[in-house]
Amino acid sequence: MNQLPLFLLVSLLWPILSFAQVNPNNILDTVETVEGPVILYKNLTWQFLGDEPLMLDVDADSSGLFTEGWLHDQVRCFGQMKPDSIQDTVLVLTSAEMTFCMPVPLEHLIRRFMYTHKGLDIRLKPGDTVRAAFDGVVRYARYNRGGFGNLIILRHYNGLETFYAHLSKIKVAVNQVLKAGEMVGLGGSSGRSRGPHLHFEIRYQDVPIDPRRIIDLDSCMLVANMLPIRKEIFYPHDWDSTAVYHKIRSGETLGHLAIKYHTSVKEICAMNNIRSTTILRIGRVLRVR
């Protein structure tokens, strides 16, 4: 058997091993076999690299990224965080070591990001493979009774979290380390869902971001490799070129507008920060889509 140099294997795997239960200091040697690479440990044990998924070692996380708000049974983990309280920064999305993968092929977008819908709904077939968008670690992997159904939440090394909801099966475990493109689960229609689709969200400190700010849905590639974080990025109305506005005429109601523009009263109210009981004065301009 040809031996694979230890320093080479460790250098290739270091971005993953540094967050994993596999401790590089305990590796004695590695060998390449017909079954794949084998790690030999100082205590004379061994394992194939593919035997077990790499798991997060919380003690190795000196940055605090995987300890602060690292909750396995709650969707929200930063309290009632609001955009105005988030500090401005710039996030690195991809690099030579970190890539991006569209979770599922974007053949049909059922529903986009809106004020009352904080993600993308992408049609798929039951059992289709759903993949991790970025490198990261599984924070949440369980059935969610709040409507998401089978839900996986990944936290990434830049602080973003991605949500994969309505799955038929969960194929990962909490604290599992994943690379972009690896399977997280199978598509389905669990939870509050009207048909098979993936509900995909991107959040930063619990605050949703329209995925279209990050992903070009025409090419299914990233808009840029860097993401400036400022409070404006969390609001959809300041950049959406597809926004539609309506000037109120005599006799019109929110119900009339919802029917005319194929939306809901709740969504119109959310977009314009009004109540369903608000009196619509003639000449007022409202966003309706």
CATH architecture of 83-234: Distorted Sandwich (2.70)
Read off the pLDDT of residues 209-268 as tens digits, 9 standing for 90 and up. Answer: 999 999 999 999 999 999 999 888 887 655 566 778 899 999 999 999 999 988 889 888
Every domain of the chain and the residues it spans:
6-52, 83-234, 245-287
Position 76 pLDDT exceeds 90 = yes
Is the pLDDT score of 53 beyond 90? no
pLDDT of residue 5: 53
Give the residue with greater pLDDT, 88 vs 28: 88
Identify the pLDDT of residue 146. Answer: 92
pLDDT cut 90: percent of the chain above it: 56
Tell me, what's the pLDDT at 179?
94
Q: What per-residue string of b and e applies to 241-279 under the rule 16 or more CB within 10 Å gives b? A: eeeeebebeeebebeebbeeeebbbebbbebbeeeeeee
Which tops the pLDDT comparison, 169 or 231? 169
How far CA 200 is from CA of 68, 138, 169, 193, in Å, comes to 23, 15, 16, 13
pLDDT grade for 35, boundaries at 50, 70 and 90: low
Question: Would you say residue 190 has pLDDT above 80?
Answer: yes
- Name the fold adopted by 245-287: Membrane-bound Lytic Murein Transglycosylase D; Chain A (3.10.350)
Question: What is the pLDDT of the chain when averaged over all its residues?
Answer: 84
> The pTM is what?
0.74
